[in-house]
Structure formats: C-alpha cells, structure tokens
Structure 1
Amino acid sequence: MSAVDYLSALNKNGSGLNISDLTTSLVQADIAPKLNSAERAKTSAETSISAYGTLRSMFEDLDGALDILSGTSVLSATSANSGISVEVTDRSAVQEQNSSVDVINIAQRQVLEFTGFTSPDDVIGTGELTIEIGVWADETTFAVNPDKTTNSITIGEGATLDELAQALSSLDGVTARVLDRGDGTYTLGVVSEEGAGNAIRMTASADAAGGLENFDNTTTNGTKQVQAAADAMLTVDGVTIFRPSNTIDDAIDGLTLTLNSPTEYATTVSVSRDADLAQEVLDAFVNSVNETLTNLKSMTAYATEDSEAGELYNDRTVQRMITDFQKILNEPIAGHSDKPVYLSDLGIQTSRNGSLYINKPLFEQSFDTKPAAFEAVFQNTFRSDDPGVKISGTPNDSTMPGTYRFEFDPDTATATLDGTPLLASALSDGTMSFVAITGNMAGAKLTSSATAQSADVGFGRSMVSKIQLFLDEALQTNGTIDSRELYFNGIVAEQDAEMEILEEKAAVLEARYTAKFAAMEQAISELNSTGNYLTNMVESWNSD
C-alpha cells in the first residue's frame, strides 16, 4: 500500500502531484547508489573476514598434522630375542646400526613376607616403624641409599594389618598388601622398586605390649625375604653394564630397551630404515599438503560457467601465499648432506593441477639407493665431519641451513663458528662445551674433545620445519592473516559509518524537499485561487 500524501490531500487546490512519492524518489535517486555501494563493500569485506577465518583454521589443521610428523624417522628397531623389547624413542639420535646385547640378569624388586596372621583385621601392636631404602650387602649388613628418604610410621592402639599395608603403600618406593594364603592364614607382602639400591629395611620400636617387632627385618632379612632386590646386568657390544631398572634408555643412542627375561646368548638389536614406514609417513605428508592446496585453490578460483568464484578469488595476498607455499615445496632441502635434497628426488612429484603424488617406482628406487635422504623431509639434523666434535641444539626460526667451519684455539680456550664467537665452558670430563648465541647458527650447542680443534659442522632444516615456519608467519599475532582480518574489519567499520552518514543525509534531503514542495504547493494554490476569482468575476460581468 502506497504512503498517504497528506500534503496533497489537505491542499485540494494545489498542483495535484503526489508530493510524498516525488520526495522519496528524489531522495532515493541521490542516496540509493551510494548506499548500495557501501552495502556491497561491507558484504564483500564480511565474506573475506569469514574466508580468512576458514583459512586460519585450515592452516592450524595443517600445522597440527605436521607437528605429528615432525621428527619422524624412517628408522625402525627390532630385536631377535623375545627377552628384549626395543623402541625408537629419540629419532634425532638413533642411527642405522646392529648391536649385540646379552641379558644376564633382569632387575628385580625385593619382596618381603610377614606371615602368621588370621585376618586382615588382626591388631598388630603399637610403636614406631622406621623404613629405610638402600642395599643389603648380606643378611645383616645394610647401607642406606643417600638419595632416598627415610620414613617413620607411628602405629597407634588398635591399628590393623590392613591399615599398616595402606600406610606402607603411601610411602615412595614401597608397595604393601595383605594376601590370603589359602590355608586359613594371611600374610603381609612388602615390595620395593626395581634395583639393588632400592631394597627395604624396616626397624620396629615396639611399645611394652609388643607385637610390632614381627615386622622388623633388621636381623632377620634372610628369613623374611622371598626375593632379593637386584640390578639388571647385561652386555652391549661386549661392554658389561648394570642398571636399576629393566627399562633402559641410555645403552644405545635413541633406543629404549625393555628387558623381559635373561637371554641364553647374545642377540642382535637392529636399527634399519623401513621402506613401508617411509611410504606411510610420506603418504600422510602428501595428503595433508594436498588437502590444504586444494582448499586454497578453491577459495581463490575464478567463476566459470559451471561454478561460482571462490570467496577470495581476487585476493592477491592469498594468491601470493599459494605461490610461496608451492615455492617451498619445490625448493631444495639444504644442509642435511653435501648435496641438497629435493622432494622429486624421493619420488614425490607434482601433477599438472599442482597437487603432489608419490611415484611408486621412483620412490622405491630412491629408497634403495639413498634411504638416509628421506630423513630430510621430517627431521632437522646436525652433522659434523669430525667424531671429536658433536653438535646438537634447538634451532630457532632464524637458524640457517648450511655448512659452517668450527675453529677452537686451546691456548685461549676460545672458539668460533664461521667467524662468529661462541660461548665456551670447560666440562668436568675434560671436554669443552660451546653455545652459539648469535649468528646464522644461533641455538646450536657443540662439544669437542681435548684433541679436536676444527671441523665442518652443518644444520639441515626439514621440509616439515620449512612449511611450519611459513604457517607460523601467517598465523602469528600481527601475521599475514591477522593483518588481512584487521584490514577487512576496517572496511566494515568505514562502510557502517558511511551508511550512517547517508541515512542522516537522506533525512535532511527529505525534510528539505518536503519544505520546498510545501512552498510550491502553497504558491500554486494561491495562483489557482486568484485565477478562480478572476474567472468568476469575468463570468459575472458577461452575465450582466
């Protein structure tokens, strides 16, 4: 229903025009194009903000997937004997190797048994029990472990066997429980942690009523002990070592050995590169990268007859990010060896649409000839051409891949890395330790033997790490995505302000046009009134 033109309705002697519609049309002619332009700009900016939110989520998902793959090695470890389980736990330290391991004894817990009880609720007497952790040299000689805490338990009147078990179990290094022997009697079993140095001595200070001395093994350890605490004993490549635990992570670099039982003879623990594992992790890498590339291209695609344009089809920032991403994938992975590695060298090739795929025959050929090259995809690596100089550390974003010259002057105890001074310190074993605080290798740590004075050392940044640096730059506070979201939010704010101004201008124009048309109508009305008067007067004269 059209608006009522009250001005024209009240003034029957005016122009006869619909002043309200005319005023609205004139205001719309002036304001509408500008208002529509502002609304389109705001809608476009809001679409871009939403798209950048999607892009942020997409990059976070890729970063999470790469985090899982980061540090992955294609090395796998196996044991030829069920008495030894082996796991790769530090892929940055593990190397291809075969080690001879012979388990002579496994580590054991001390087990003490206190018998002769009729119920878990038997009252045990009052007094104090002192519990010490250490080593039993023989049945009566005990040495306290200085690294362990000595504890005392005060036993009150009415305390039961079960309550004592609970009190003992609350102590570090002790587990106790009441067991039904099945012959109508109960026993208190007390168990230590693994290792000869974790055995238990319990000393009772019983009150006059007595009874608590039953739990004293100070002079009766031989009769109370069911199993003695013992260290694991094994040989690794002919060297005999002892460990307090059956889980050993310092015998072979990068591996954790779990000793399940003694072995009758030396067995081989092997570390080798696994082609199936290599293809599995490469598949995961390729799938994660392809998913991101596909989504990026969809967001920036131009309209066709069959499809609409992507939300960021004309956004040069995202188009540049795609270009930078693809450039990283095609760049050499430097620093891992004398020659750089390319993804194409490993059988990872690029299809016409830009996505990656694994060429199976090329992958297999590459793995057969240079399996170590596959580490460059997932692992940052340090290397040294002198076994007397070892390099490690945590590279930062600015650490540059490449080969660097290490020089040490024993006379001044100073060292440099490609001319950059290193922070030096002497270690108790006679070796020197160095840390790179500045320079292209900031974050690197080196150790050198007393005789090593120079070496070529290197750092290789993995392909995964390179991509994550690219993602970090986009995702970080004030990074690429933040900046674009800020830019588009600014456009939304500008257009909101522009539309508010236009609405105010429309109200002013409407009032102005209304006032002018009112004056016009009044003038026309007066002219019409004068004309009617003259017409009536002439008609009156003619009638006379």
Structure 2
Amino acid sequence: MATITSAGIGSGLDIESLITKLVAAERAPITQLATRTDTLKTQLSVYGKLQSAFSTLRDSALKLSRPETWQASLASSTDSTSVAVTAGSSTTSGKFAVSVSKLAASQTLSSKVLPSAPATIGNGNITIELGSWNSDQTEFTTKAGSTAVTIEIAPGEDQLTQIRDKINAAKAGVVASVVTDASGSRLVMRSSETGQTNAFRISVGDADGINGDDSGLSALAYDPSVGVSSMALNLAAANAMAVLNGVAVESESNTMKDAIDGLNITLLKPTTADVTLSVDQDKDGIKKAINEFVTNYNAAVTMLRDQTKYDASNKTAGTLQGDSTATSLQNQLRGLAGSGTTLGGSGLGRFSDLGLDPGSDGLIKVNDTKLTKALANLDQVKGFFAGVDTTDASNSGLAVRFRTLTDKLLSTDGSLTSRQAGLQTRINNNGKQADKMEDRVSLTEARLRARYTALDTQMSKLTSLSNYVTQQMALLNKSS
C-alpha cells in the first residue's frame, strides 16, 4: 500500500517522485537478478524433462538387457475353444498334441422344493465335510488337511435365504444358491473347487430329533454311505482326463500348470481329435521392445537438440544453448549409438547392421524389413543387445552399455542430477541475495525520505523568512 506523505509541501518540489525514481534505480540490480533467476528456473525445468527422458530410455535399455525378454515365448492352439494355452518365459519351443476326454467337475447337489420366506425350513445344525466318494458312493474318504465345518441354524434364522447365507459365510468349501423356477425354490450346493477330492457330504442335526426323514432341516442332508440322500446328486466331483503327447494325465483342475514346463493349459471342453499346441519365441514382442528403445532414444536426442540449438532466422537460442552438460550428454548418446560390439557375431556389430540406421540429424530410423530379417538369428540379436563382455565392458551389448550410461547419468552424483542440484543451489542463493538487496533498498528509501523531509522542512522555514522580509521591506518603502 502506498504511503501517504506531505513531502514537498514546504519546498514546492516533487520530492515523492524524486524518491521513487531514486529507489527504482536502487532496485535495478534486483530486477536483473530476478531475470537471471527466471532463466535458471527455466533451465532447471528443462533438465527435469531431460531426466524423465533419460529415465525412460534407461527402462527400455534395461528391458532389452534382461534374459527374460529374450526367453519370452508365444503359444497358440489349433482349437482354442477346446484347449487354451499361454506360455511363460521358460517354455521350450516345440509342438504338443493334446486330447481331452473329460473335464474336471464340482460336485453339485439340489434339494427338493422348499418353502420360501417368510416360511421357515427348520433349525438345528448342518455339518459339511470335504473328501472323495468311491464309485458307488458307499464309502467316503475325508480330504487330507480338511476339517468338517458345523453351521448352527437357530430359530429365527432358518428361512431358505438365511440358510444359504450362513452356508456361504462358513467357507466350508461349498457354495450355496437358491434356484427358483415354476415349481418353486430349491437350495443348490456345489464344491468351491473341482476335482474328486473336493466332493462333500452333509450331515444334519435336526431339532426334531430325526435327521434323515427329509423333513425340516433334514431336507438338506446328503450322505449315501449311511443311506441318507435327501438332496439329489446332479453332478459328481470329477478330475480332468487328457492325453499330452501320448501320455495320459489327470488333474483336479481344468487348468494344468505343471503338465508341461512353462505352459499354462486350460481345458475347456472334450475333444474328438488332437489339438496342437505350438510354442515359439516371441519375436514380435522383442521387435516391439527394440522399437520402443529407438523411440525413447530419439526422444532424448530430439529434446537435447532442440534445447541447445540456435535459430539464426529468428535469432533465438535454446534454453541450454552453450550449456556444457547438455553438450556432453549429446556427445555421449551419439558416441554410444555409433559404437559397436563383437557379441552379435559376424555381420551384426552396429545398429545399422540390424536395420537401425543413424541419420544425419542424430536420430535412428528403423528399417523394418532389415530388422525382421535380423531377428531370424535371435541369438545373435540377443548378443548384440544383452551380451556381457566380462573382460572388456566397452564391448558388451549395446542395451547393457546404454543401461550403464543412463544409470550413471541418473545416479545421485551423475551429471544430470548434479546439474539440477547446482541450478537449484544458484536459484536458492539468488533468492537469499535478493532478500538482502531488498533490505538495503528499504533502508535506502528510509534514509532518502528522512533527508528530503528534513530538506523540505528547512526550505519551508526559509520560505517563511523570505516572505517575512519581503513584507517588512514593503512596509518600509510605504512609510518612506
């Protein structure tokens, strides 16, 4: 807020304007410092973007230097509606014949039609036990490691939907649901998991004291081994049966993860003929990783070029024009891109041999036809990018060396990080210097205001004396 002052009244001088101009002159160095600080902040912002670009480049180089990238496989099925397949990184290339005779199944039981709410079924308790049945269901073998679960059904919580919810909440290895059609509602129970050992039996402790009469809670009992089958068996628990390359296999699940190393096979339906599963190296995935690396390399080079160039037509310089760190980064990138390695074997020593052609502008252009041809010799391409020379690090694969370079640049004492820290320190120091200069300007303004106020007061006194003398002289002349 401007200060209201009467400076200048006594002398008639525009003292306030004079002080303002003198203070403005004192503030000129602060304005110049602020301009330099804004330039530093712009440079710091650009270096932040460069750090992001180099970090992205490092990630793509790291991907190409990892063994799992080169071990990735692609699996396919000649009948994916019957047998689906996906491949892991350790899968060996080849073909596998699969035929499916039977899918794994969950035991499923259904009750007779039961009264719906608000009617009740009956109270007591239900005990569910997992295990396996013999072929005629006269014997039940408890599943190893499982424990029977007893569910209490108290009066007031024995409606059909309440019983369903209590069974599901007990997590006894079965899932209950209510199925309603034109005839009424039934309780359906099925094993949570497929397989012969995930069958189950149900024992009921009916509040009426009779546990197998199909009345009250007993309507939910199922234990053929003791002659109780109040619920009907709709589907028996079963293992999946298949033949893999002539070998009969059996699985409790329709997903086979261990039948063939690295392959996840999902059985979807029985087959009438062999389904062929093919596993090949994922060359398309590798090509994509190479193209991503080139894209990220070009992005970093383009950013450096744009920020360091001088536009003669517009007479404007990039933010980092003449910056030694930025120039060094450019040289390091281009130098590494122009280097080679012997780990790619004969005929594959430089980027250009792979179809990655360096241009005069420093950017790499991808010759897709040449790259596809080179990928036919995947081991050589892997050596070119991911090979490690333990005796001469400068001969290691290009992705390994790019990863090493970017790791170094982005480390806590790397040139990118150090340059940003240096710029931030200069910005902070400028801020402190500006504060001190502002204090000096404030003191200068106060001193000037005091001096000119004193001058104004003295001028006022002199003016009053001059007026008095003038009046006295006029009176003297008049009396004469």
Equivalence for 1:216:
221
Equivalent residues in 2 for 1:164-175, closer than 5 Å? 164-170=163-169, 171=171, 173-175=173-175
- Structure 1 regions of 5+ residues with no counterpart? 382-400, 405-439, 441-459, 534-544
User: Aligned pair count?
Assistant: 444
Cα distance, 1:114 vs. partner?
1.9
**Residue matched to 2:83:** 84
2:139 maps to a residue whose letter is T
Which string of whole-angstrom CA distances, capped at 9 and with x for unpartnered residues, describes residues 270-325 of structure 1?
11245555544544443344334323332333343247333233333344344444
1:499 to 415, 434, 437: 434
Q: 2:120 matched to which residue of 1?
A: 123
1:87 Cα shift?
1.5
- Residue identity in the other structure for 2:46: A
Per-residue deviation at 1:259?
A: 0.6
The one-letter code matched in structure 1 to 2:307 is: M
The alignment's TM-score, normalised by the length of structure 2, stands at 0.74
2:41 counterpart of 1:46: yes
Quick check: 1:229 aligned with 2:228? no
**SS state at 1:229 partner:** coil
Counterparts of 1:348 and 1:37, CA distance in 2: 48
The corresponding residue for 1:202 is: 202
How many angstroms does 1:514 deviate by? 7.7
For residues 157 and 20 of structure 1, the distance between their equivalents in structure 2, rounded to whole angstroms, comes to 95
- CA separation of 1:33/1:11 partners in 2, compared to 1, >3 Å: closer, same or farther? closer
Q: Does residue 110 of structure 2 align to residue 105 of structure 1?
A: no
The partner residue of 2:251 within 233, 236, 243 is 243
| TM-score normalized by the length of structure 1 | 0.67
Using the TM superposition, give the Cα deviation of residue 358 of structure 1 relative to its aligned residue in structure 2, in angstroms.
1.6
Q: Is the 8 A contact 1:104 1:263 kept in 2?
A: yes
- Kept in 2, the 8 Å contact 1:335–1:403? The answer is no
CA distance in 2 between partners of 1:48 and 1:467 (Å): 25
Q: Which one of 312, 337, 349 corresponds to residue 357 of structure 2?
A: 349
Say if 1:151 and 1:515 are closer, same or farther in 2 by CA, change over 3 A: closer
Q: Match of 2:474?
A: none
Matches of residues 96-495 of structure 1 in structure 2 within 5 Å?
Answer: 96-119=93-116, 123-138=120-135, 139-158=137-156, 159-170=158-169, 171=171, 173-182=173-182, 184-192=183-191, 193-208=193-208, 210=210, 211=215, 212-219=217-224, 220=227, 224-273=232-281, 276-306=284-314, 308-327=316-335, 329=337, 343-368=351-376, 370-373=377-380, 401-402=388-389, 463=399, 482-495=417-430
Work out the percentage of aligned pairs sharing the same amino acid.
Answer: 25
How far does the alpha carbon of each residue in 1:205-238 deviate from its partner, in whole angstroms, 9 at most, with x for none?
2222543222222225888322221222333333
Residues 140, 221 of structure 1: 8 Å contact kept? no
SS in 2 for 1:148: coil
Q: 1:228-259 deviations in whole A, cap 9, x for unaligned?
A: 21222333333333222112222233321111
State the secondary structure of the residue aligned to 1:128: strand
**C-alpha distance in structure 2 between counterparts of 1:127 and 1:8, whole Å:** 104
Q: 12, 29, 50: which is aligned to 1:55? A: 50
Which shows bigger deviation, 18-27 or 50-59?
A: 18-27
Change (3 A) 1:278 1:67: closer
RMSD: 4.6
Q: Write 1 or 2 for the structure with the bigger share of helix.
A: 2
Alignment match, 1:540: none
Q: Which amino acid aligns with 2:356?
A: I
1:338 to 1:353, Cα distance in 2 relative to 1, 3 A:
closer
Question: Helix, strand or coil for the counterpart of 2:261?
Answer: coil
The one-letter amino acid of 1:124's match is: I
Residue-by-residue CA offset, 1:330-377 (whole Å, 9 max, x unaligned) = 566898999987544432222222222221231232133x13455679
For 1:313 and 1:346, the matched residues in 2 are separated by 33
Looking at structure 2, the residues matched to 25 and 64 of structure 1 have their Cα atoms a distance apart, in angstroms, of 57
CA 1:234–1:348: 2 relative to 1, 3 Å: farther
5+ residue gaps, structure 2, are 470-480
Is the CA contact (8 Å cut-off) linking 2:114 and 2:121 kept in structure 1?
Answer: no
With over 3 angstroms needed to count, the CA separation of the structure-2 counterparts of 1:327 and 1:269, relative to structure 1, is: farther
Instruction: Give the Cα separation in 1 of the matches to 2:245 and 2:175.
Output: 36
Counterpart contact for 2:348–2:380, Cα < 8 Å: no
One-letter amino acid of the structure 2 residue matched with residue 191 of structure 1: R
User: Conserved in 1, the CA contact under 8 Å of 2:53 and 2:296?
Assistant: no
CA distance, structure 2, for counterparts of residue 160 and residue 66 of structure 1? 63
**RCO higher in 1 or 2 (8 Å CA, sep ≥ 6)?**
2
Structure with the larger strand share: 1
More deviation, 66-75/118-127: 66-75
